Every structure is written in structure tokens, then in C-alpha cells.
Amino acid sequence: MKQLQYLRPIFCHWANDAPEGKILSETAAIQKAGRERAAPHIKTYIRYGEKSIDWALVTSANISKQAWGEAMGASQEVRVASWEVGVLVWPSIITDNATMVGTFETDMPPREGGSGDTVVGLRIPYNLPLQSYGKDEIPWVASMAHTEPDRMGRFWGAE
């Protein structure tokens, strides 16, 4: 479980309403994506600026050598074991001086959302702010048995 030890500090709950998760600030502005119990099998990599989004990658690619490739010695060849697909977006792909902002439970950005001429909305698939796992929580991973039922009452790998 070396990988889990490395990733655990940066993992967050899909929805920010987990009772065992790290407590959110009382002053945090909660933004709901509208899909708290429907986590899609996607990965999102987003570079947030102070008031806007610089770029976003929505992809099937895990953070792994299989998905991103691995150099094969000194030959400068790259081996990609698993082909993935993704979409990279940034505001100026639409028009110069555009600003991209996150949208929640809607596809359209607020008119006052950005400082550029055009405001581009990016539908954020999860709630903000993100909620870290609590001190004693263990993120769900398929390679471990789980003795407590999931929200549907099912057990995983426990006998």
C-alpha cells in the first residue's frame, strides 16, 4: 500500500459532505456540482488561478506509467501500455482575452464571472471546496478488503 501512503494526503472526497472527512471552514463558500452520489470514472486536472481557471484536462488517464508512457532506456522510445483519451481546454482556445470560470449545477457562467471580454464556463464535476479525508479515514481502494458496507449496503472483499 505504498502508493496509498503517498497519495493519501492529497486525496479528497468526491462530495464535500462526508461526516468523517476533515471539517470545512465555517466561512467556506460551498459550491455544489449537483452530482454528489454520481462520481464519473474520469480524472480532472485543473489549474486554478486566483479568480479563474487557467486550463483543465478531463481524461480517462490515471497518474501512471501505463497511461502516460515510460521511457525505454537510452533509445528515446516511449512505451505506452494503455491508450487513454482526454480533452484539454483553456480560455483562449475560444477567443483571445477570454476568461474561464467554473460553473456549478449550470452550463452557463455568470456574466460578471471574469475579467476578459468573453467568459467561458467549465462545468465542474465535484463540489468545492474539496474535503480532505479525516485523520482516521482510509480512502477506498479495490486492492483492500473493506469491512464496512458502502452506501448501498454492500461489502468489498470482506469475508
Spatial distance between the Cα atoms of 22 and 24, rounded to a whole number of angstroms? 6
CA–CA distances in Å: residue 113 to residues 80, 106, 120: 39, 14, 9
Spatial distance between the Cα atoms of 128 and 25, rounded to a whole number of angstroms? 12
Spatial distance between the Cα atoms of 57 and 130, rounded to a whole number of angstroms? 18
> Hey, what's the cell of 56?
483543465
Q: What is the pLDDT of residue 101?
A: 94
Residue 13 DSSP code: E
Residue 73 has pLDDT above 90, yes or no: no
Helix (H) or strand (E) holding 70: strand 70-71
43 is in an annotated binding site: yes
Residue type, 12: C
Cα first-last separation, the chain: 20
pLDDT, tens digit, 9 for 90 and up, residues 81-100: 888 899 999 999 999 989 99
Mean of the pLDDT values across residues 118-145? 88
The β-bridge relationship of strands 70-71 and 12-13 is unpaired
Whether the full predicted model's pTM is greater than 0.75, yes or no, is no
pLDDT, tens digit, 9 for 90 and up, residues 19-43: 889 999 999 889 999 888 877 788 8
Q: What are phi and psi of 74, to 5 degrees?
A: -85, 0
Are 33 and 125 spatial neighbours (Cβ–Cβ below 8 Å)?
A: yes
Contacts with 74 (C-beta within 8 Å, 6 or more apart), sequence order: none
Q: What is the pLDDT of residue 158?
A: 62
The β-bridge relationship of strands 78-79 and 70-71 is antiparallel
Which residues are marked as active site?
A: 41
Query: In whole numbers, what is the pLDDT of the chain averaged over residues?
Result: 86
